Amino acid sequence: MPDIRTLGEFIVEKQNDFPHASGELSSLLGSIKLAAKIVNREINKAGLVDITGAVGSENVQGEEQQKLDLYANDKFKAALEARDQVCGVASEEEDEAVAFNKELNRNAKYVVLMDPLDGSSNIDVNVSVGTIFSIYRRISPKGTPPTQEDFLQPGHRQVAAGYVIYGSSTMLVYTTGNGIHGFTYDPSLGVFCLSHENMRIPENGSIYSINEGNYIRFPEGVKKYIKYCQEDAPEDNRPYTSRYIGSLVSDFHRNLLKGGIYLYPSTAAHPNGKLRLLYECNPMAFLIEQAGGLASDGENRIMDIKPTELHQRVPFFVGSTKMVRQVEDFLKEYPEQQ
């Protein structure tokens, strides 16, 4: 029988890979694991209880909130606050960052930024969704409430990041800067078991993931890249395949395993793109770089961008190295007219 390592065992085994490790990070990841199990349970019975659909309110970005968005947000906040390793969280579903006020929380080292339920509108049609999280060491003094600066750090300062994908099986994938590792949930045991150690994305791929319904609004360089994928790519790498689920976690996960690129460029309606730098792009950029890929806004490395606001948006191109470089080349060759 093969040796089975659980997520908890693996985290403890690897915690010395993380500078200044003293157990807090392991416990923090344990909080995320617990919340993911609770959310997974609710998602799996979403058609049986009244937890699908919209709640009739919008988040700060003007997007309609789903019942499970708020449920997941509450469960992750509660789990992170309970173990005293986190002094505050920022969430896609919250207008402002949330400070935890217990004394032990104020002495905590870390802040967490998260998209509690990415792609939640897909729940109603039984399509995979996910959770994205990002962990930073706080800048403000311990013993005080967290400040805005704690959350507005560039992505290269992340100490850990990851996602949970709730699909045909539930997986938790994370990095602390020493590779990227995936764990599949075994519901019969109630544990996440190591299934994908040191995941690597192929240097090139043949999958491109983009909402082509917005084609007419794309920058010219992105239009040219799509044409390249459809008609002009080298014959030994054709045909390229278009695959778009509409859940960043799901599209990213497939491309990570098979090789490909995910694109969410600027459009006329969203000149800065639509994805959030802090909750979606930075954690996915950290993960993809640890897997040997790239993440770019079309010109710059995502993790070098200095955030200026909590809900900042950026264009996002992430995936296999050669494919991301090609998009950057097309955008440079066909600059937008000002």
Q: Which residues are CB-neighbours of 206 under 8 A, at least 6 positions away?
A: 233, 237, 238, 239, 240, 241, 259, 260
Residues 37 and 186 in one domain: yes
Closest to 329 measured CA to CA, from 305, 303, 304, 294:
294
| Inside any domain, residue 17 | yes
Residues 59 and 187 in one domain: yes
Which of 135, 164, 196 terminates a domain? The answer is 196
Q: Is 121 annotated as a binding residue?
A: yes
C-alpha 108/C-alpha 77 separation (Å) is 15
Q: Is 299 annotated as a binding residue?
A: no
Residues 158 and 244 in one domain: no
Largest CA distance in the chain: 63
Residues 50 and 182 in one domain: yes
Q: Is 262 annotated as a binding residue?
A: yes
Specify the DSSP class assigned to residue 87: E
Residues 286 and 177 in one domain: no
Q: Which two tokens stand for residue 225?
A: 């890249």
Q: Is 62 annotated as a binding residue?
A: no
Number of domain units in the chain: 2
Q: Is 280 annotated as a binding residue?
A: yes
Residues 164 and 304 in one domain: no
Q: Per-residue confidence of the chain (338 residues) as pLDDT tens digits?
A: 457 899 988 988 877 666 555 678 888 999 999 999 999 988 887 554 444 444 445 555 555 566 888 999 999 999 999 988 999 999 999 999 999 988 888 899 999 999 999 987 777 777 889 999 999 999 999 999 999 999 999 999 999 999 999 988 999 999 999 999 999 999 999 999 999 999 999 999 999 999 999 999 999 999 999 999 998 777 666 679 999 999 999 999 999 999 999 999 999 888 999 999 999 999 999 999 999 999 999 999 999 999 999 999 999 999 999 999 999 999 999 987 54
Q: Is 240 annotated as a binding residue?
A: no
pTM for the predicted model, two decimal places: 0.92
Do the Cβ atoms of 17 and 23 come closer than 8 Å?
no
| Inside any domain, residue 1 | no
Q: Is 166 annotated as a binding residue?
A: no
Domain housing 250: 207-333
